[in-house]
Amino acid sequence: MDAGSADDLEGRLAELGEAMFQASYARNDPARQREFLEGLFAGTRSRDSSFVSIVEGRDHLDEAAEFARAPAPAFGAARRKRRPLVIAVAAAVLLLVAGICYGVLRSSRSGGPGEGVGEAAKLRIGLLNVVDTAPFYRALDQGYFKDEHIDVEIEKFHGGPDAIRELAEKKIDIAFTSYPGALRAQASGIADLKIVAAAYTARNSHLMLMGLPDGPLTHAREAPGKRIAVTATGSISDIGTTLALRDADVDAKSVVWVAMSMDDMLGALKRGDIDGAVMAEPYVTQAEQGAGAVPVLDVTLGRTAFLPLSGWFVTEQQAESQAKVIQEFQRALARGTRDVQKRDNRDSVLIRYLGVDPAHVDDVRIATFPETVDPAEIQKVADLMRVNGYLDGPVDVQKMVLHWPSAG
């Protein structure tokens, strides 16, 4: 097929798709539309097999278009004669194909991947394996993303800033990260970010500087000059620890920050490669139970107490081009967030997806899973970072919150 013919066919399919989308029996109900047409297809297929060649030859596009615009009685009239019957069946099949194709065409123009009838949208999600992500894993476990016709592909990262960088480079579609990493990227112009959903709000003992009981770092005053592992620099790990050390009258300027995955921290601590490690749950509990590690400093005290810790982000461009599927992601994630407010639901996720030993799941320190985004609280994080020299410029969090235009 030459390019001209292909363009012509796409145009005709688009016209047919538009007709079907506007049909009263299909409007705003793609599932019912498909069921209706497939029912017509099944009910008439046995009467005449020649419709296959008619459809494949595309000899009756005009009749199909006319059929798409015809009122309901045309169905009855089409059964009276063999040829109108064949045309009607061919039209039904063409309408089905056109509707699917047109849905895909509309998707590519206005709102993200996989919005055609019967297709699952694919979303690449950047994650860290911390308890903040329990709502996501609950939604995955219960099939909430499948309910929204979303196929998620998980990419694991050592730290939130890594996820934001991949998001800015369009290698992932949605990034989970702590707020400091996202706010620094926003202030420095690395990416124009939008907050899709809140993830976690701090409580005491969620984020801890850990050491070994017989190691070189067992008290906050010993931190200067020490090698301390964090998931990434410019994240809640090093920024929060620095602020917590200042509150304890300890100068953190000489601390050597070592970036690594939380999965690797305990091993590095045992080997002596590092002197301490900033861990979040469930790694804090695992370090305590598995190696007798001891808390050196609670990073979520003082100025960082009860502040929002993390959220889910997209770029502004993605918010525009993938609007529909992002809203579907929000709905699925919100169901997961509601679920993990119950301990039994949360514990099952911690055990199955985050590697928590069932014998110690009750020891995991859990903070708060917010069900809504509170820009005023997140603004406190931005202001605290600005005052302490961690932002290049001011950030208006309210403008980062993702708001969808009303349907009206």
Mean of the per-residue pLDDT values of the chain: 78
8 A C-beta contact, residue 217 and residue 223:
yes
**Cα distances (Å, whole numbers) of residue 293 to 156, 283, 350:** 25, 11, 20
8 A C-beta contact, residue 402 and residue 319:
yes
pTM of the model: 0.66
The mean pLDDT of 207-231, rounded to a whole number, is 95
3-state secondary structure of 176: strand
Q: What's the confidence (pLDDT) of residue 74? A: 40
Pair of tokens at residue 148: 């929204």
Pair of tokens at residue 303: 């100025």
Task: Tell whether the model's pLDDT for residue 39 goes beyond 50.
Answer: no
Helix (H) or strand (E) holding 366: none
Q: Which domains does the chain have, with CATH numbers?
A: 3-110 (no CATH), 121-200+307-400 (3.40.190.10), 207-304 (3.40.190.10)
User: Which tens digit of pLDDT belongs to each residue from 338-397?
Assistant: 999 999 999 999 999 999 999 999 999 999 999 999 999 999 999 988 988 889 889 999
Q: Please say whether the dihedral angle defined by the alpha carbons of residues 306, 312, 317 and 320, taken in this order, is positive or negative.
A: negative
The mean pLDDT of 109-124, rounded to a whole number, is 61
Q: Give the pLDDT band (50/70/90) at residue 97.
A: very low
